[in-house]
Structure 1
Amino acid sequence: MFIAKKEEPPVHKAKRANDLRVLALFTAKRNDHLVGSCHGHSKNWGINCPFYNAEFQGEIPKKFRHLSVYVYDVSNKNSKVIGKVSLKKEELYKFHQKDHWFPLTQQDGDTEVQGKVQVEVKLGEVLTSSCATDNTTHRLAVRVCECSDLTVINGSCNPYAVVSLSYGKSRNKEVKRTAVKKKTICPQFDEKFFFYFDKSNNQDKTNYAFDDFMSGELSVSLFHDDSKVSREVLGNMFKGAFLGEVKIPVREIDVSKPHIAWYCLQAKENHRSCQQPLGSLRLRISYSADYVFPSEYYNGLRELVLESSEAKHVTSSAAFILGEVVSNREDAAKPLVKLFLHHGRLVPLIHALADWEMSNTIDPNTLFRGNSLLTKMVDELMKLMGIPYLQDTLQAFIDQVVSEAKPCEIDPKRIKDGEDITANLANLFGYVTECIDNIVNSSLVCPSVMRDVFSTLKARAMLNYPDNSAVRHHAVTSFIFLRFFTAAVLSPTMFDLHSDILDAPVQRTLTLISKSISAVVNCISSKSVSSSLAKQSLLQCVRLGTMARGPALLRGIGGTMVSKYALRSTGTFLSWVQASPPVPWPD
């Protein structure tokens, strides 16, 4: 987990204040695990100092090598990487829960490497053809065995390895090269190279030469042979695209026995020292690893927690106590929902927690407004089971709003020159109506476990508040609408409804739609739907929901309401009833 905070002015000039985007990747073998993305606002820091204040969290691959954070310029259709921050897995503990400025580095083929290489090294003595008394010499045998998960360059990979040994004060260097392996990211080279250094008759020189040799460095570099002209015409004058390298100090190798090992390919070291400054990115990283034992080790704990749904007093149950002792109830809600859902005991636990929470809530208008264990568990259930349902219901609508980009601003202080506030209000009202229609028509495909939970909440509200019929609706709408549908409209990227960057006007439109639906739901759930007063209060809610600044804005739409709805919650179904005929706007 980490939080992207702010960026210092880079050399690159972005065109707009929100043109800089952050993307987080965990690099593991061939696949990059995308954690999330965000884009910032300049506020008071200038156009090249965006403030992100975005948090990404989630599970990551067990085996990863680097955490990479990329900064993009998205002022044009084709995003361009400005720079990146790349941290090794072994370095993450140094920055745990600390704000730190990281310099951006350049992204190119010399830094974007992946894969590994297997190398075998063996030092020995061999006989020579010399007539001298001591006719032996030292020889270093290096075998390039194989590679795995190399980078694909322009849709192909034709790798070959270059092996070099440098030693001595003059850094004598011998270079060897393997054959090219065509169309593979896991080449099997199995080629052996020998490096000799002569042994002098003078014992002092012998020791010196051996020590000099042992202070040397063995390098294995991988390249992609991407040019037929380079191979056949220019005699391999150009090495091709760089795939990564490994530098192994000879002194670190146990030369008393054959040494064979896998090495992760690294970027070029001399590339970093010559690049221009690109700015900095401030991050706060929290990285933790959980060690999980085999399932049978948790049998006792599992049974103890599952008994929470049958406990006489839920406050004495293991699940409730767990929600009280953790610093963040979300950390308890996630595993509890998965555990009880898997064993089919989630609804009884929700039943018990709802009874306890309702009995301890004095004002029913504040019911389920806090971050209790119950609210967190229902939130997690909707995220776990409801995302496909949410995408099926709202994704097409979100795409429509983004593609049409109709002006919907109705705040006189924010409206642009040339826009008609009455037309904007009509656009907004049309979007709100269409969004509610989509939600209405999706009621029967809502996941059954969510309907069961909402039915339980409604039944407990009717039992605990028999004299307040509005609470039964509020118990449901506070979750399915205020914490699910309207939250998804407000932040579609967080619910996987949209992946592209949203322009500021589109984000403003989605904000107005979300607030409008929230206000309508609050008005409906606060009145009895069978009362004639609900009709007039619903109209007032729409007025509030559209964020209009005065009655004149509503009269300008034509003096009639397009459609109106009443909330109906019967059995395990949640739906809306469209009323007819339309009702005139009140003066």
Structure 2
Amino acid sequence: MRPSSGLPRCGRRCPRSGGRSTRCSSSPVSTASPSTSWMRMRSGYSGWMSLSEVDPDEEVQGEIHLRVEVLGSQGSRRLRCSVLEARDLARKDRNGASDPFVRLRYNGKTQESTVVKKSCYPRWNETFEFELAEPAGEKLCVEVWDWDLVGRNDFLGKVVFSVQGLEAAGQEEGWFRLWPDKSKPIQDGRRGSLGSLQLQVKLRDETVLPSHCYQPLVQLLCQEVKSGRQDGQVHLVTLLDETTTAECRQEVAINLVKLFLGQGLVKEFLDLLFELELAKPCEPNTLFRSNSLASKSMESFLKVTGMPYLHFVLGPTITRVFEEKKYVELDPSKVEIKDVGCSGLHRVQTEGEVIEQGRQHLQSYLGELLDAIVRSAPACPPVIRAAFRQLFQRVGERFPQHQHAKFVAVTSFLCLRFFSPAVMTPKLFQLRDTHADARTSRTLLLLAKAIQLVGNMEPAAGRAKEPWLSPLLPALQQGTARMRDFITRLVGTEEEQGEEEGEGRPLGPPPAVVKEGLLLVPKTRGKGPLLAAAAGKKLHFCLTGESLSFGKSPSAERIGAIALGDILAAEKVEEKSFGSSHVMQVLYMGTGGQQETAYLQCKCVNELNQWLSALRKVCGNNPRVLRSYHPGVFRGDKWSCCHQRDRTGLGCDRTRHGVTLQDWSDPLDPTVEAQRLFQHLQGLRGTLREKYWELLAPEDAQNGPRGEDAALPEGLSRLFAVLGDLESCHRRAQPPAPAAPALLQLQT
């Protein structure tokens, strides 16, 4: 099923020239024409949409490269259409590809191209001609189909041209988006009969300037963090916290965290947030429970820096829960009574027996998870331990009579905002590839509740709220004591941390590991001598802060390694190059000073994007990165992508060194973070001024905001000046309005 009246899919090519790029953070997911409500709401869409059955002739994607021209003189004119190639076609076959061919229709005549087997990026390079009708009122229809040996062919999309518009232009060439077939009549009752789906879609179109344009803003924010909190003054971070709405606070927090991570000031930034938050009137038992900028920033910080640690701690227990599929229930109102026993000796379990059995299973999972948490202090990344150490000390100084509060402050982030959400929905944290079924989901929910109660450090409070959790109370009390000891070790001094790591305790995966997993080395020439003996085998690859190494298994001796400084680029490979998708290439400098290529196949597109993100993140500052590459492979005497015969020549496509995933695993891109912070601050200029005077002198708030001429502090004045300069840069960077196209492309 899909929305029956939809939103426009983003088909505009994103121009990148002169150091300027345009990014679209999200796009709608339907090929229907734009709705009136969408066109009115330029920033997005929110509402209910009817569901309808899926028509395969409407579900299309991709683009086709065509050259269409009118030849000859009056009386003997011809219409010529050169079908060059297509890209990103829909996958219609079980092998994850299609067998596309092109069908051209004009003036009652039809011609077809050859079939390209197993490819969503076919190349035809074929030319077709039609005698031009007089008058040239007919339309030229270019259709793309997936050829099937058995059954009917599958429709992949079409482009319709007005020949009259073409006569005026003479010739047109370019990439044209494939459109669905809207010519078939809609059956009565087919639409709007399957219910409705509520959607919220946000469209963001950003112009990112060259990085040097954002340096004044970045330097100002860094200076504000370094100066720290000063009594009697309103800090810029406080103004940002007070004026940012709850809807966008999460996004602002992650932008700030990534920006200061790139500047090496994330600990100082978090410490400033802790200090400003603790300066407000607050109670020790509700500390950091609100969605303030401090809470959201610390939560984002854990997701950006602590995902490998999270996987190390939770991975084994989550895997066990998914594999065992035990029935776990403690709530009497939800208990399901079933027959037990062998054949001929059936009996019905009592409610008490079901609850006791569920308690044993849940207690076993909780015990295993607590064991992993308690042992994980040495494996926790040092930057996270340093942040928790600062938080622990700040809360202890703020509430000297409530020493319990500093432990709760740490667990409120580590357990309530990090471990517990990951246990409840492991797919969102990349712990599983799919969501859990109903039974497993209930077990994970109960386990997440148990972790929350342990994190509250007061299980008795949880028992009063949900009395049916009382059978688990002894395990929760024991877990609370163990969690307290764990926090004490976690926030120990740096000297204690060094001694701890030297005691020979199991550290788990080294903190320096960025990404690891099994990858297949395809059989092909041109993979470089390093992996020549591994063709057709799966190897365990490990990416650290020093190298990309590989061996037969995680514990086996490393067979070889590529130093990070030698990696030149990491890019995708065209699907047709190997007859399978999800292949990447790592271009590196070999021992003899020659450029080599390692081709590696991932199991899915998500894993492919994660590997590309990780490689680009750790190699982003390499001095010898490539600016171009070949998306194909060199077979015989030419490249499969551009047919060049020079194996060492310049690539036919530009390399990419930026973001590939829009979530926690993104590489740091400080230019994009600065641009988004600029947009947010630009929209708050008037509000920042008003809030400053309100916070500086609350007793004068009833008199209204101060005038524009009132003196502002140096930091706020500099901020307004920097925002004004950036706004001017954006105005100068706006591209000229494009000329109206001579060729009329119809969408019917």
What's the TM-score once normalised by structure 2's chain length? 0.54
Q: Does 1:218 align with 2:140?
A: yes
SS in 2 for 1:273: coil
Give the match for residue 140 of structure 1: 79
The 8 Å contact of residues 162 and 175 in structure 1, kept in 2 or not, is answered as: yes
Q: Does 1:308 align with 2:215?
A: no
The 8 Å contact of residues 223 and 239 in structure 1, kept in 2 or not, is answered as: no
Question: Structure 1 93/456 Cα, relative in aligned 2: closer, same or farther at 3 Å?
Answer: farther
Give the match for residue 282 of structure 1: 198
Residues 65-76 of structure 1 mapped to structure 2, 5 A cutoff: 67-68=28-29
AA in 2 matched with 1:306: C
What's the offset of the Cα at 1:63? 7.1
Q: Does 1:416 align with 2:350?
A: no
Residues 179-578 of structure 1 mapped to structure 2, 5 A cutoff: 179-197=114-132, 209-210=134-135, 213-214=136-137, 216-227=138-149, 240-271=153-184, 273-274=186-187, 276-277=190-191, 279=194, 280-313=196-229, 316-327=234-245, 328-417=248-337, 418=349, 419=351, 420=353, 421-523=355-457, 540=460, 547-549=466-468, 553=471, 565=482, 567-568=484-485, 569-570=487-488, 572-573=490-491
SS in 2 for 1:140: strand
Paired with 2:25 and 2:484, the residues of 1 have a C-alpha distance of 49
Question: Structure 1 325/476 Cα, relative in aligned 2: closer, same or farther at 3 Å?
Answer: same
Paired with 1:359 and 1:157, the residues of 2 have a C-alpha distance of 62
Question: Structure 1 189/401 Cα, relative in aligned 2: closer, same or farther at 3 Å?
Answer: closer
AA in 2 matched with 1:517: I
Question: Structure 1 375/64 Cα, relative in aligned 2: closer, same or farther at 3 Å?
Answer: closer
Give the number of the structure with larger relative contact order, counting CA–CA contacts within 8 Å between residues 6 or more apart.
Answer: 2
Paired with 1:476 and 1:160, the residues of 2 have a C-alpha distance of 60
Give the match for residue 111 of structure 1: 58
Worse overlay, 176-185 or 291-300: 176-185
Paired with 2:445 and 2:403, the residues of 1 have a C-alpha distance of 30
Paired with 2:386 and 2:224, the residues of 1 have a C-alpha distance of 19
AA in 1 matched with 2:163: V
Paired with 1:66 and 1:98, the residues of 2 have a C-alpha distance of 11
SS in 1 for 2:60: coil
What's the offset of the Cα at 1:66? 6.6
What's the offset of the Cα at 1:436? 1.3
SS in 1 for 2:334: coil
AA in 1 matched with 2:139: E
AA in 2 matched with 1:434: E
Paired with 2:442 and 2:89, the residues of 1 have a C-alpha distance of 44
Paired with 2:284 and 2:472, the residues of 1 have a C-alpha distance of 32
Paired with 1:281 and 1:248, the residues of 2 have a C-alpha distance of 35
Worse overlay, 345-354 or 143-152: 143-152
AA in 1 matched with 2:147: D
The 8 Å contact of residues 368 and 375 in structure 1, kept in 2 or not, is answered as: yes
Residues 23-42 of structure 1 mapped to structure 2, 5 A cutoff: none
Give the match for residue 51 of structure 1: none
Paired with 1:274 and 1:467, the residues of 2 have a C-alpha distance of 73
Alignment root-mean-square deviation, CA: 3.8
What's the TM-score once normalised by structure 1's chain length? 0.68
Question: Structure 1 191/565 Cα, relative in aligned 2: closer, same or farther at 3 Å?
Answer: closer
What's the offset of the Cα at 1:424? 2.1
What's the offset of the Cα at 1:25? 13
The 8 Å contact of residues 93 and 287 in structure 1, kept in 2 or not, is answered as: no
Question: Structure 1 361/493 Cα, relative in aligned 2: closer, same or farther at 3 Å?
Answer: farther
AA in 1 matched with 2:241: G
The 8 Å contact of residues 223 and 241 in structure 1, kept in 2 or not, is answered as: yes
Paired with 1:383 and 1:329, the residues of 2 have a C-alpha distance of 16
AA in 1 matched with 2:413: F
Q: Does 1:150 align with 2:89?
A: yes
Question: Structure 1 177/329 Cα, relative in aligned 2: closer, same or farther at 3 Å?
Answer: closer
SS in 1 for 2:451: helix
AA in 2 matched with 1:443: A
Structure 2 gaps of 5+ residues are 13-21, 338-348, 497-748
Paired with 1:306 and 1:432, the residues of 2 have a C-alpha distance of 42
Paired with 1:157 and 1:99, the residues of 2 have a C-alpha distance of 35
Paired with 2:320 and 2:296, the residues of 1 have a C-alpha distance of 31
Question: Structure 1 432/544 Cα, relative in aligned 2: closer, same or farther at 3 Å?
Answer: farther
AA in 2 matched with 1:355: E
Question: Structure 1 286/483 Cα, relative in aligned 2: closer, same or farther at 3 Å?
Answer: same
Q: Which has the larger radius of gyration?
A: 1
What's the offset of the Cα at 1:88? 6.5
Question: Structure 1 392/138 Cα, relative in aligned 2: closer, same or farther at 3 Å?
Answer: same
What's the offset of the Cα at 1:380? 0.5
SS in 1 for 2:434: coil
> Higher strand fraction: Structure 1 or Structure 2?
1
Structure 1 gaps of 5+ residues are 1-5, 11-23, 30-60, 69-84, 128-135, 167-172, 199-208, 231-237, 525-537, 576-587
What's the offset of the Cα at 1:254? 4.7
What's the offset of the Cα at 1:357? 1.9
Question: Structure 1 312/500 Cα, relative in aligned 2: closer, same or farther at 3 Å?
Answer: closer
What's the offset of the Cα at 1:437? 1.4
The 8 Å contact of residues 26 and 64 in structure 1, kept in 2 or not, is answered as: no
Residues 12-27 of structure 1 mapped to structure 2, 5 A cutoff: none
Give the match for residue 106 of structure 2: 165
Give the match for residue 111 of structure 2: 176
Paired with 1:124 and 1:106, the residues of 2 have a C-alpha distance of 44
What's the offset of the Cα at 1:335? 1.3
AA in 1 matched with 2:367: T
The 8 Å contact of residues 101 and 147 in structure 2, kept in 1 or not, is answered as: yes
Paired with 1:550 and 1:154, the residues of 2 have a C-alpha distance of 48
What's the offset of the Cα at 1:108? 5.9
Query: Residue 100 of structure 1 is aligned with which of 47, 50, 59?
Result: 47
Paired with 1:523 and 1:239, the residues of 2 have a C-alpha distance of 64
AA in 2 matched with 1:341: L
Q: Deviations over 1:359-416 (max 9, x none)?
A: 3234222211122221111011011111221122112212222332323222222222
